[in-house]
Amino acid sequence: MYNFDYVKASSVADATAALGGDAQAISGGQTLIPTLKARLGQPSSLVDLSGVAEMSGITAGDGSVTIGGAVTHHAVSESGDVPASVAALAAGIGDPAVRHRGTIGGSVANNDPSACYPSACLGLGATIHTSGGDVAADDYFQGMFDTALGEGQIVTGVTFPTPAKANYQKFVQPASRFALVGVFVSQMADGYVRVAVTGASESGVFRWSDAETALAGNFSADVVPAAPSADGMIADLHGSAAYRAHLISVMTKRAVAAC
Amino acid sequence: MPTVSMTVNGKSVSGEVEGRTLLVQFLRDHLSLTGTHVGCDTGQCGACVVNVNGDSMKSCNMLAASADGAEVKTIEGMANDDGSLGVIQQAFQDNHGLQCGFCTPGMVMTADDLLARNPNPSEVEIREYLEGNLCRCTGYHNIVKSIQAASAAMTAGE
Ligand SMILES: Cc1cc2nc3c(=O)[nH]c(=O)nc-3n(C[C@H](O)[C@H](O)[C@H](O)COP(=O)(O)OP(=O)(O)OC[C@H]3O[C@@H](n4cnc5c(N)ncnc54)[C@H](O)[C@@H]3O)c2cc1C
Ligand code: FES
Ligand code: FES
């Protein structure tokens, strides 16, 4: 790791004042520290968001819940206020030591194409709160490792609407334990269906609209379409593009059946 | 250089670190607490697990500066006050829970964290909690047995 200055932020205002230029945010460090060890980055300073009180709570609202950006996966997994599908997703990230440090803000900001949280955000139609304003999940995720965050902006929290039904199914990549393919399915009280897929596409998390249309008419695993086209799917030593496309259909069926 | 202060195994310590100094480097190189091992240095193996403010964490994946003011417990803090092996350590010895011993500090610290939350874990719960701790020697069965034995001994000792 190249050296950097360490800055502990105590508020969002404090953090954004210290960011910009070559400064970079750090939350749990579970992704960033290994990246810096590989010398894939050389920030002048790291601004630690983990102690920012405004980003540390889980607040139940009317028909929704807001999770602060600095809340750990462990805290989400134990919370009775978040939808059970989101708590279960958080409980399946990495291992206990990773969950004790890794944060929702770090995961959503990083937008790893195999990460779990982006699928919950897109699959529930969440609102991403940033230091630059609120962004709908549909507009926020803009491709692999790419988001609507502007330079020096941070994710301060995420608001999830409460679904009538929801479930996340993750096919674990055997080495990294990230999602080889993960599918988050939800149905709102008004019948609106979302199907969000992570791990599969070279464009990052996406909504599988054919499955959404089929499920909106009849929310049953039987109507989930066969595998979508393998064009643009990730192919690597863990699975071919066609294998991932096939898994999308399988995991969607399992998620619907488990709702 | 920033100064960090923390409580490690009940003792107040402080030292000057660089921004990039990892918690595990602070423990091993500054405090000479070399019981905490570095197996992979990439956050995968769990040999470096210590307890920070009540939660198990990978000390190779955490900055020393982030632990400023924290209560840290390492494998050196697991022995009894008279220096004899603590309950979990003794259970690992009795059940052949280690061979080369490289992964053992992380295994014991993860077991300590699990038993603090769940004093009577099932075999499945133990295996799931060890998800982030890799052992190249034992095949895990005796590690699981050790933790079951520690759980039984702690429950009996209450
Ligand atoms: C062994 C292991 C297994 C894992 N398994 C999984 C898994 O199964 N599923 C999964 O989804 N993830 C997994 N992860 C990743 C883990 O969830 C990370 O915690 C997460 O991706 C990043 O969160 P963090 O708080 O650690 O962020 P950091 O590592 O601190 O930061 C990540 C990036 O986001 C930026 N950043 C951090 N916080 C903010 C913020 N609030 N606003 C703006 N930018 C920010 C940083 O500058 C950096 O670029 C795993 C990690 C490890 C080490
Ligand atoms: S040395 Fe920290 S996880 Fe392997
Ligand atoms: S005993 Fe050798 S790695 Fe576990």
Domain boundary among A15, A30, A47: A47
Does the C-beta of A152 come closer than 6 Å to ligand 1?
A: no
Distance from the CA of A32 to the center of ligand 2, in angstroms? 15
Distance from the CA of B141 to the center of ligand 3, in angstroms? 12
pTM of the model: 0.97
B129 in A contact zone (CB under 8 Å): yes
Q: Which residues of B touch A98 (CB under 8 A)?
A: 43, 58, 61, 132
What domain range is A41 assigned to? 5-47
Give the position of tokens 């011993």: B101
Q: How many residues does chain B have?
A: 158
Do A123 and A174 reside in the same domain of the chain? no
Check CB contact under 8 Å for B131 and A177.
yes
Do A173 and A224 reside in the same domain of the chain? yes
Considering every ligand atom, which ligand is closest to the CA of A152? 1
Q: State how many domains chain A has.
A: 3
In the predicted model, residues of chain A with pLDDT beneath 70 are none
CB-based contacts of B152, cutoff 8 Å, min separation 6: none
Domain boundary among A161, A178, A200: A161
Do A137 and A180 reside in the same domain of the chain? no
Summary mean pLDDT of chain B: 97
Domain residues of chain B, as ranges?
3-77, 87-156
Question: What does the alpha-carbon distance between residue B112 and residue B110 come to, in Å, rounded to a whole number?
Answer: 5
- At B157 the pLDDT is 78
Question: How large is the average pLDDT for residues B135-158?
Answer: 94
Question: What does the alpha-carbon distance between residue A93 and residue B16 come to, in Å, rounded to a whole number?
Answer: 34
Chains A–B, number of C-beta pairs less than 8 Å apart = 74
Q: What percent of chain B has pLDDT over 90?
A: 97
Class (C level, CATH) for B3-77: alpha beta
Residue B2: pLDDT band with limits 50, 70, 90:
confident
Do A121 and A67 reside in the same domain of the chain? yes
Question: What does the alpha-carbon distance between residue B143 and residue B92 come to, in Å, rounded to a whole number?
Answer: 7
And the tokens for A167? 């479930």
And the tokens for B93? 């010895």
Q: What is the CATH architecture assignment of B87-156?
A: Orthogonal Bundle (1.10)
CB-based contacts of A79, cutoff 8 Å, min separation 6: A58, A87
Domain boundary among A108, A143, A161: A161
Q: CATH number of the domain at A22, please.
A: 3.30.43
H or E segment and range at residue B29: none
CB-based contacts of A34, cutoff 8 Å, min separation 6: B42, B43, B61
Residue B158: pLDDT band with limits 50, 70, 90:
low
Of A25, A53, A48, A14, the closest CA to residue B68 belongs to A48
Please, are residues A50 and A27 in contact by the beta-carbon 8 Å criterion?
A: yes
Which residues between 106 and 125 in chain B have a beta carbon less than 8 angstroms from any beta carbon of chain A? 110, 113-114
Check CB contact under 8 Å for B57 and A97.
yes
Query: Vertex B21, ends B20 and B22: CA angle to 5°?
Result: 110
Please, are residues B56 and B108 in contact by the beta-carbon 8 Å criterion?
A: no
Which residues between 74 and 103 in chain B have a beta carbon less than 8 angstroms from any beta carbon of chain A? none
Coil, helix or strand at residue A192: coil
Q: List pLDDT tens digits, range B22-68.
A: 999 999 999 999 999 999 999 999 999 999 999 999 999 999 999 99
Do A63 and A147 reside in the same domain of the chain? yes
Check CB contact under 8 Å for A97 and B49.
yes
Interface test mutation site (partner A, options B38, B63, B128, B134, max chain A beta carbons within 10 A): B63
Do A16 and A61 reside in the same domain of the chain? no
Give the position of tokens 């064009």: A231
Residue B116: pLDDT band with limits 50, 70, 90:
very high
Do A39 and A83 reside in the same domain of the chain? no
Q: Whose CA is closest to atom 4 on ligand 3?
A: B135
Chain B nearest-CA residue for A95: B132
- At B17 the pLDDT is 97
Question: What does the alpha-carbon distance between residue A156 and residue A162 come to, in Å, rounded to a whole number?
Answer: 20
Do A153 and A69 reside in the same domain of the chain? yes
Question: What does the alpha-carbon distance between residue A157 and residue B139 come to, in Å, rounded to a whole number?
Answer: 41
Strands A165-172 and A155-161: unpaired
- At B114 the pLDDT is 98
Question: How large is the average pLDDT for residues B126-130?
Answer: 98
Check CB contact under 8 Å for A33 and B22.
yes
Please, are residues A213 and A194 in contact by the beta-carbon 8 Å criterion?
A: no
Q: List pLDDT tens digits, range A184-205.
A: 999 999 999 999 999 999 999 9
Considering every ligand atom, which ligand is closest to the CA of B102? 3
Question: How large is the average pLDDT for residues B103-124?
Answer: 98
Question: How large is the average pLDDT for residues B70-96?
Answer: 97
- At A244 the pLDDT is 98
Distance from the CA of A102 to the center of ligand 1, in angstroms? 6
- At A90 the pLDDT is 98
Dihedral pair phi/psi, residue A109, rounded to 5°: -70, -40
Dihedral pair phi/psi, residue B58, rounded to 5°: -85, 110
